[in-house]
Structure 1
């Protein structure tokens, strides 16, 4: 599995099919009942932003997806049945919201029987126009069709809130699934890349899907129940809760929520189209060594990444108390393989004062991660709501925050094995739609032999230069730790002094 921009998906030419609900299913959608309960907090934010953009006549690009391959001839009827069983097992993927301009969102739930009916879905051939049968031109035309079509397919106020396309080739087929972010997250997409092919393959051999990929019910619990539990937990926190106090301390000390510290070429409040930059950090034996160096100091590779970011900001800005906001998964054992948006945010606070070597920062970064996991038990919206009400934060400060994510791609179910599900995962590409931003969030990813970062940056020359400068420093620090055993917090220490410092 690789994470990168959608433009990297370059399918070989073939016959293009879109999977769509039949008239019978659309009738079932229209008759679907209301599902009681509020959306999750992240869904609520997303729905509000969508409704405002819709009412202003804007283009909705808040969706995310995955593309991969299945070996063997394409059986369209079987693919539709596999999709139906997938949707039946994941109720969150059968929901959408009625969004009136001046009323709370109302969730609707399509019954499972509607998606498992024999005629639930159909294949509609996509015409890419004349001259689209060869190489790069085919991929470009398909990309253009997706860009024109999926903003309407992937929206939270209609069902389905996803688009699914297959490119049929002689002895295999490639597929792309894109879904409105209200109903999915990165982990869901990574698991879908394995689960959908695994279900398809099992139907073809009249067998049982690999249970590590198609999980039993007790590992794919209800996303709707998860959202309700989240709101119940939030109600137990108040202004004097220790978790809220820690958030308050973080934003007051830092002067607000974090923003990318270098020039992005934007005026205050301005945004620009997103550009995704993929930057290599550490690979091969250097990555093995980096992990050993981190473990020797009681830390892990994610903590080494945060430590390197903290030192980079000190070098570039002089700030010696780092604040990052990290994306934390909220999947417990019951929801380990649930499809939905199961995330929270937590602060990462690293105090660099008095430290002169990266190795000494590592334990503090590890402690910051441990604290972030504890703080993530509280829905961040509980803290932010209190800080907004008391004036510690302003509403404008919450838009387009700078986020830091770390995904270890080796631990997802599809990373193991050799069946259709494993192939779907291992050959997959995960991406997000590219709307607009006024920040530069970082998505660190580790696979078996590579650590890299995808940065969603404004598409301006200043932003591209700043991002390359920043992550060039991060890379240099991580490589120094891997190859030389440590790195100075300052700049310019000779290697001999570095080795002597590490030895001492």
Structure 2
């Protein structure tokens, strides 16, 4: 799965097929509120910050229109988050739910597109229109038709999905599509039953209160206080005045190939650490090497799919935890410190974020749109990951506006890659170029030297 942004996505030219959702029936009111992530997202929607996520993959030959429409309809019926709609009331945002079978996907347009850049621009405009949680449905589907190899693209407002959901979407749509093509009259599909994100939201809404004196709550408060009563920031000037934002820039950097990724993992294991600790240690070490501080605080997302029924469900199953990496003299020292910090941070992820913010009250201010964060996902641990490589699968995010740096590190069968999101200013581009060059050099060097302790910042 290649992690990218729409501005960097370059699908081969072909005929663009767009599907339109036809909705029948009326939704029923649901007593289950939106999740915290959904509420935060719904309260901050505007044209400049439309946040959607898409998954794309290739299929052999021309697009089978009926197969793709059927596959997407089955996806909607399997996952209740895709049948949720949100209504604003004076009392807040309420959820409504459509029944299974309420959404039918029909081909609406087909247009020949001569260039990859024009195709990307048309896709982006259409996704901006359709992937909007203020309407139902807030997702859509496309085919890019070619005689040899075609591309399927499914996109969703972020309220419906998280990163792992996109991997599920690619696997399920591909599986359903192939089954229909084999036997349209009786598609034989073996997909496991899944739990519903709506049920997860019900449980989240009834989580018990955490005592403000609880050690986890105290540590959250101390972390945010040390960050100045706000969220952590990338520790470099990015060329913006306080309160300003700029259009988002995206940098895609291959960090390590498959062999060197395995070697880096073995080096981390030698320090008793996993890949995430190694990655964030290298990020902190690279930052210090180009003039940054010796302490790097950030947030990192974690999935909350702790029950088996949600392991393959679509939804926004994520929370965050705070972490600070102390940079040592050698990378091995930093990896060890990062591993300890990671283990200590995990219990903090069990405290609901709304309770953390409520506990801080006026002592906390959200001073930026973005939060400095580092995300890590290992696609090689996801069932069916071989399909991602074989089908040229992509995870595609929208490009919006930015006022801080954010990093997504992904591991695939091809190795380790970095997607960086940051403000598109000359200062930020210069800083990010220096940072990514140092990060790549550091991580590549430690997979070619026999003694990791010999590496210095």
Query: TM-score when scaled to structure 2?
Result: 0.92
- SS of 2:446's partner is helix
Mapped contact 2:21–2:140 kept (Cα < 8 A): no
After superposition, what is the alpha-carbon deviation per residue over 1:421-460, rounded to whole angstroms, capped at 9, x for unaligned? x268741111111110101100011112421210011111
- SS of 2:375's partner is strand
> What is the number of equivalent residue pairs in this alignment?
451
Equivalent position of 2:15 in the other structure: 15
Q: Distance in 1 between matches of 2:36 and 2:109?
A: 38
Q: Distance in 1 between matches of 2:14 and 2:286?
A: 47
Does the C-alpha gap of structure 1 residues 405 and 445 become closer, same or farther in structure 2, counting only changes over 3 Å?
same
Counterparts of 1:133-282 in structure 2, within 5 Å, are 134=114, 137=115, 139-206=116-183, 208-209=188-189, 211=190, 214=191, 216-217=192-193, 220-233=194-207, 235-255=208-228, 256-282=230-256
The structure richer in strand per residue is 2
After superposition, what is the alpha-carbon deviation per residue over 1:305-355, rounded to whole angstroms, capped at 9, x for unaligned? 111222234444563333121011111222101101111110122334xx4
Q: Distance in 2 between matches of 1:13 and 1:114?
A: 33
Counterparts of 1:284-295 in structure 2, within 5 Å, are 284-295=258-269
The structure richer in helix per residue is 1
Q: Distance in 1 between matches of 2:336 and 2:218?
A: 23
Equivalent position of 2:314 in the other structure: 339
Deviation at 1:59, TM superposition (A): 4.2
Q: Distance in 1 between matches of 2:106 and 2:323?
A: 47
Equivalent position of 2:73 in the other structure: 84
**Is 2:39 the partner of 1:44?**
yes
Mapped contact 2:9–2:396 kept (Cα < 8 A): no
Counterparts of 1:70-469 in structure 2, within 5 Å, are 70-100=59-89, 102-115=90-103, 120-127=104-111, 132=113, 134=114, 137=115, 139-206=116-183, 208-209=188-189, 211=190, 214=191, 216-217=192-193, 220-233=194-207, 235-255=208-228, 256-317=230-291, 319-332=293-306, 333-352=308-327, 355-387=328-360, 389=361, 391-396=362-367, 399-416=369-386, 422=387, 426-469=391-434
Does the C-alpha gap of structure 1 residues 467 and 93 become closer, same or farther in structure 2, counting only changes over 3 Å?
same
Mapped contact 1:280–1:451 kept (Cα < 8 A): yes
Mapped contact 1:325–1:402 kept (Cα < 8 A): yes
Equivalent position of 2:3 in the other structure: 3
Mapped contact 1:68–1:174 kept (Cα < 8 A): yes
Q: Distance in 2 between matches of 1:280 and 1:9?
A: 15
Deviation at 1:182, TM superposition (A): 0.7
Q: Distance in 2 between matches of 1:10 and 1:322?
A: 34
Q: Distance in 2 between matches of 1:59 and 1:350?
A: 33
Larger CA deviation: 259-268 vs 200-209: 200-209
Deviation at 1:461, TM superposition (A): 1.2
After superposition, what is the alpha-carbon deviation per residue over 1:117-152, rounded to whole angstroms, capped at 9, x for unaligned? xxx221112346xxx4x3xx2x22222222322222
Q: Distance in 1 between matches of 2:279 and 2:287?
A: 12
5+ residue gaps, structure 2: none
- Alignment equivalent of 2:437, drawn from 472, 475, 481: 472
Q: Distance in 2 between matches of 1:323 and 1:435?
A: 24
Q: Distance in 2 between matches of 1:424 and 1:313?
A: 32
Query: TM-score when scaled to structure 1?
Result: 0.84
Mapped contact 1:193–1:425 kept (Cα < 8 A): no
Does the C-alpha gap of structure 1 residues 469 and 266 become closer, same or farther in structure 2, counting only changes over 3 Å?
same
After superposition, what is the alpha-carbon deviation per residue over 1:265-315, rounded to whole angstroms, capped at 9, x for unaligned? 111110011111012222243222211111111112211111122223444
Deviation at 1:72, TM superposition (A): 3.8
- SS of 1:483's partner is coil
5+ residue gaps, structure 1: 417-421, 492-504
- SS of 1:112's partner is coil
Counterparts of 1:58-69 in structure 2, within 5 Å, are 58-69=47-58
After superposition, what is the alpha-carbon deviation per residue over 1:76-134, rounded to whole angstroms, capped at 9, x for unaligned? 1222111111110100011121135x44111121110323xxxx221112346xxx4x3
Deviation at 1:188, TM superposition (A): 0.6
Does the C-alpha gap of structure 1 residues 167 and 480 become closer, same or farther in structure 2, counting only changes over 3 Å?
closer
Q: Which one has the largest radius of gyration?
A: 1
- SS of 1:439's partner is coil
Deviation at 1:172, TM superposition (A): 4.0
Mapped contact 1:69–1:423 kept (Cα < 8 A): no
- SS of 2:82's partner is helix
How well do the aligned residues superpose, as a CA RMSD in angstroms? 2.2
